[in-house]
Amino acid sequence: MNLFRVPFEVCGFFVFLERFLKWKSGRFLLRKAPGASLEPGSIYFVNYGGTGMQQNEQWSSKIGFILASAGSAIGLGAIWKLPYVTGTSGGGAFILLFLLFSLLIGFPLLLAEFVIGRSTGKEAISAYKDIAPGTKWHWIGYLGVFTCFLLLSFYSVIGGWILKYIVYGVTGSMNGAGNYEELFGTSVSDSVSVVAAQGLFLFITVLVVAKGIQKGIEQVSKIMMPALFLLFIILIARSLTLENAMEGVSFFLKPDFSNLTSETVLFAMGQSFFSLSVGVSVMVTYSSYLSKNENLMQPAFSVVGMNLFISILAGLAIFPAVFSLGFEPAAGPGLLFIVLPSVFDQILFGRVFLLLFLALFLFATLTSAFSMLEIVVAALTNKKGRGRNRAAWLTGLAIFIVGVPSALSFSSLSDISIFGKTIFDSADFLVSNVLMPVGALFISIFVSYKMKKDLLRNELIQGSKSLNGIFSAWYFLLRYVVPLVIIIVFLDSLQII
């Protein structure tokens, strides 16, 4: 314990403060030190932090880090978009293509973010400053923080829709609704309930993130991710027992290389890194809480594998049921809010299975939302010295306010368009087609050209000569292949090529 004396007198009264002061340089108590002799007219700063520097939290286990990282990567796209594209673009052939690009593009980028975060032990902005002081490279961190802030502002709107449908399912409001397309239109156009549901989703997200890494994100991820797998297994078991279910399995998995077009290849390229939460420095922040002794390659391979595995499970849970009852396969909100309610409306105990599906989607949405909020909160607490709890709630409030126009873009603000797109779609386009590819490009260049090769080798192989070959391949891909692919995907998303 260190004791610092500072003379202080105000209007002839000696001031003794008995409250906590959160200060950037460390955790300090303004109070009488036990057993210390205090001089009148002094304030004593008692430092219980050793050096005074605030220590980052750490994941309590490797599995906690892997589950939280996988939860960040496995979002709505992996469940309601990727399976549909797989079925319409070659089935098993597309899965092989997606796996190839995940290993050649997604894995190197994911590992690059892991290296940045773990090597510095700092959040997104400070990590880049630490590696390249006196340069402008830290703007990659600012870009990531802004991207996640904007992304969560409209992502939370979808989370709110899911919560609304869970309420519908529990209360029986959807029973016999018949026209689920009309129900969805009515639901998203109800301004008050949509904004309230968005607020509730953000409230849950903030509640978890405010508790910190171990007691918040890690603890909840250890519950939600296994629950996600369990729900998939239950739903697959039910889906495969339906009549003609194998038609759906064939649609989803049967290889058809004739359906692999240039458009399909470009989509697989883009999804190989979009679906892993790379390009926005989320994984930089998550890996900054990782122990120096942990091998980085194993978690990276695990996240890539779990992301693909979940997409396959989603397809096996959805398409056998859809084909069995004669519905057309769909993707996106139309799948969750229109097709699936129609399907389960015709199945025994369908309401229960629909609720399980909604819970599954909610878990996937929340675990992704945790990471989006965490990168912003971590940046604020490290740079401004504010407490995590305050930073989390203030950030959540700011995101809610910014997200309200997106929530209302299907109702009172539906007439407002930006280049022919609604506010919601415009925000989505900016994040998905511009900010994420640009961020991914800068990260690949920063790691492969700015960071020292010896540092990268030490971080990745940790003295294991058997991993030298993998390191060399990773470095080559990150330096030459990944930037080229990102540029191609970026130009394609803007319809330039």
Domain count, the chain: 2
Whether residues 209 and 122 fall in one domain? yes
Whether residues 104 and 24 fall in one domain? no
Plot region of 75 (φ>0 → left; ψ -120 to 50 → alpha; else → beta)? beta
Query: What pLDDT score does 27 carry?
Result: 38
Whether residues 358 and 391 fall in one domain? yes
Task: Please report whether residue 271 resides in a domain.
Answer: yes
Query: What pLDDT score does 382 carry?
Result: 78
Q: Mean pLDDT of successive 10-residue segments in the chain (497 residues)?
A: 39 33 36 44 40 60 94 87 83 90 93 94 93 94 96 96 92 72 88 96 97 93 94 91 88 86 86 87 94 89 93 89 79 80 80 89 95 95 73 96 95 89 93 93 95 90 76 94 93 82
Whether residues 294 and 442 fall in one domain? yes
For 178-182, which contacts have Cβ atoms below 8 Å and span 24 or more sequence positions?
A: 180/337, 180/338, 180/339, 180/341, 180/342, 180/345, 181/338
Task: Please report whether residue 57 resides in a domain.
Answer: no
What are 21's strand-pairing partners? 28
Pairwise CA distance, residues 150 & 27, whole Å: 31
Pairwise CA distance, residues 454 & 458, whole Å: 6
Task: Please report whether residue 113 resides in a domain.
Answer: yes
CATH value at residue 359: 1.20.1740.10
Pairwise CA distance, residues 92 & 101, whole Å: 14
Residue 304 tokens, joined:
């890539």
Query: What pLDDT score does 478 carry?
Result: 95
Query: What pLDDT score does 386 carry?
Result: 60
Query: What pLDDT score does 251 carry?
Result: 86
Listed residue (32, 293, 327) closest to 180, CA to CA: 327
Whether residues 331 and 354 fall in one domain? yes
Whether residues 14 and 82 fall in one domain? no
Query: What pLDDT score does 243 carry?
Result: 85
Plot region of 314 (φ>0 → left; ψ -120 to 50 → alpha; else → beta)? alpha
The burial of 496, by beta-carbon neighbours within 10 Å (0-12 exposed, 13-18 middle, 19 or more buried), is given as: exposed
Domain limits at 29?
A: 2-47
* Residue found under tokens 């399976």: 83
Question: CB atoms < 10 A from the CB of 18, how many?
Answer: 8
Whether residues 285 and 311 fall in one domain? yes
Whether residues 373 and 455 fall in one domain? yes
What are 42's strand-pairing partners? 7
Whether residues 31 and 133 fall in one domain? no
Query: What pLDDT score does 447 carry?
Result: 96
Task: Please report whether residue 54 resides in a domain.
Answer: no
Task: Please report whether residue 104 resides in a domain.
Answer: yes
Whether residues 200 and 282 fall in one domain? yes
Pairwise CA distance, residues 321 & 355, whole Å: 15
Whether residues 349 and 410 fall in one domain? yes
Whether residues 11 and 112 fall in one domain? no
